[in-house]
Amino acid sequence: MISVIQAILKLTGCLVLFYSLQGCGNTEKEKGATGGRPKNQPPLQVEGYVVKPFTLDQNIEVPGSLLPFEQTEIHPEVAGKVIMLSITEGAFVSRGTLLARLFDGDLRAQVKKLNVQLQVAQKTQERQSELLKIGGISQQDYDLSALNVISIRSDIHVLEADITKTYIRAPFTGKMGFKNISIGAYVTPTTIVTTIRQVDKLKLEFAIPEKYNSKVVNGKNVTFTVEGAPKKYSAKIIATESSITSENRSLKVRAQVDNVDKFVTAGAFAKVNFNMGVNDQALMVPTQAIIPGARDKKVIIDRNGQATFQTVVTGTRDSANVQIVSGVAVGDTIITTGILQIKPGNKIRISSLKK
């Protein structure tokens, strides 16, 4: 009797184990078929935005720097001792103003010596000219005396040029910087005597992204502001760099500033507003719809209830919207919410649509 009961218990245990294993197998099959997710997953509820054209006054703001229109360091052309110095720091001087003089006594003494030699050589030439007329000397002797006169005159011209180099003058009209020498100092061509800057007009330098380089035209006006100034200033584009920089993919632009006042000074930082005209077919989408990537940017488009990731090229932006230059068309529905949860091909349903 006991053996019969034990047999029944063993049989019951085997049946329980068999059905348990069968149930586990069915569960694993269901998970494998559904990827661990419930069957018939409902579409994600998202909000959308219908792309349409806008009239956009295209402006970009970039940083810039104000520079002197002309600027140079003043060096002496020759070495020597300073015997006269007439530099007033911060003063305006005209082109050609004498700023300093170097000692030139030895050069002037050599000029006097050569002038005496020139007088003797000229008299010799005159006498030999008379002798040549009567055949008293050969033509070669006369030519040598004439050559001597020319040589002495040339030496005088060289010394006069050297004397001119001892005068240090302002190369253009501008504002003087600090003086770096004093009277009695011995200077060489490597010595910086002072600096001079033309500040009655300035240069404005800035850079714009390469995608806008076709908008840059010589003669086009830009506006800018500087810290502490009560108004906007204008500048006219006069030149661009010959190529786009490889470091930040931008084009350097130079403009001329004529309306200079006490608020606009060389070296100041400027905020440049570059106007690219009016675009009445600009496609704008909300900023949150853009998915930034390492190499490009994407948006999610609703294609018959499925999420499609589309690569786009962006343009200008404001506080809430970004211009799409390429990648979307008028009438496309762009997803603006649930961006992080959506995967390519997911089913989606628009719960709220903004047009």
Specify whether the CB–CB gap between 184 and 81 falls below 8 A: yes
Closest CA to 160 of 207, 114, 197, 93: 114
Q: Can you give the pLDDT at residue 10?
A: 56
CB within 8 Å of 59: residues ≥ 6 apart = 273, 274, 275, 276, 316
Q: Which residues of the chain have pLDDT under 70?
A: 1-40, 277
Distance of CA 180 to the CA centre of its chain: 32
Residue 220, SS3 per DSSP: coil
The pLDDT of residue 333: 92
Tokens 């060096």 — which residue?
A: 75
Q: Look at residue 28 in the predicted model and tell me its pLDDT.
A: 47
Paired with 90 in beta bridges are none
Specify whether the CB–CB gap between 286 and 49 falls below 8 A: yes
pLDDT at residue 335, rounded to an integer: 92
Other C-beta atoms closer than 10 Å to the C-beta of 291 total: 18
Q: How far, in Å, CA of 144 to CA of 128, rounded?
A: 10
User: pLDDT digits over 25-52, tens only?
Assistant: 444 444 444 444 455 678 888 999 999 8
Nearest to 102 by CA among 159, 177, 168: 168
Which pLDDT score, from 0 to 100, does residue 40 have? 64
Q: What is the pLDDT of residue 30?
A: 45
Q: What is the pLDDT of residue 122?
A: 94
Beta bridge mates, 302 = 307
CA angle 125, 127, 131 (to 5 degrees): 110
State the DSSP string of 48-63: EEE--EEEEEEEEEEE
φ, ψ for residue 158 (rounded to 5)? -65, -45
What are the two backbone dihedrals, phi and then psi, of residue 35, each rounded to the nearest 5 degrees?
Answer: 70, 30
Q: What's the pLDDT tens digit per position in 61-91?
A: 899 999 999 999 999 999 999 999 999 999 9
| Model pTM above 0.85 | no
Domain ranges of the chain: 44-57+280-354, 61-69+199-277, 76-187
Q: CB count, 10 Å around CB of 170?
A: 19
pLDDT at position 124: 93
Please list the alpha-helical segments (H only) found in the chain: 2-34, 105-133, 139-165
Cα–Cα distance for residue pair 59/62, rounded to 1 Å: 10
- pLDDT recorded at residue 79: 95
CATH architecture for segment(s) 61-69+199-277? Beta Barrel (2.40)
Task: For domain 44-57+280-354, give the fold.
Answer: 2.40.420
Note the pLDDT of residue 9.
45
pLDDT of 61: 85
